């Protein structure tokens, strides 16, 4: 079974630029998550989708971050404009369970450096 795919793996941008990350979850997984992991910290949930609907985006900085999941499969996370404090690893995860608890399968992440 193929795992969660993410691209790009690395991205370096200047502050105030925009960036987009892509995620392809495991086939058949209805739930998709985006996390931000700052060095030395645990992953912080940004947004959770159930199929193509948003379930939880309470911690998403909506003034600069946006995410969509078209057709309930692939997802993109965008940052516009980026700030220095956005430097982190952005992890995508998916789960098969349609209700809790959610055993999550994570992708390798995208390491973003904002200069």
Contacts with other proteins, residue ranges (CB under 8 A) = 4, 31, 33, 40-45, 48, 50, 55-56, 91, 93, 99-109
Q: Which residues of 28-56 are buried (b: 16+ CB within 10 A; e: fewer)?
A: ebbbbbbbbbeeeeebebbbbbbeeeeee
Toward other proteins, which CB reaches closer, 19 or 47? 47
Closest approach, Cβ 45 to other proteins, in A, equals 6
State in angstroms the smallest separation of the CB of 62 from other proteins. Answer: 18
Q: Minimum CB separation from other proteins for residue 88, in Å?
A: 13
Query: Please, which residue, 41 or 71, has the CB nearer to other proteins?
Result: 41
- Give the distance from CA 23 to its chain's centroid: 7
Q: Closest by alpha carbon to 59, among 70, 67, 51?
A: 67
């Amino acid at each position: 079974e193929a795992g969660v795919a993410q691209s790009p793996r690395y991205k370096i941008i200047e502050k105030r630029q925009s960036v987009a990350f892509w995620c392809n979850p495991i086939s058949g997984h209805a739930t998709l998550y985006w996390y931000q992991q700052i060095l030395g910290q645990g992953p912080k949930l940004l947004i959770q989708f159930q199929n193509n609907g948003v379930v939880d985006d309470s911690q998403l900085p909506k003034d600069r971050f946006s995410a969509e999941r078209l057709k309930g499969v692939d997802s993109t996370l965008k940052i516009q404009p980026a700030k220095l404090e956005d430097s982190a690893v952005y992890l995508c995860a998916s789960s098969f369970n349609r209700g809790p608890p959610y055993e999550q399968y994570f992708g390798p992440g995208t390491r973003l450096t904002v200069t």
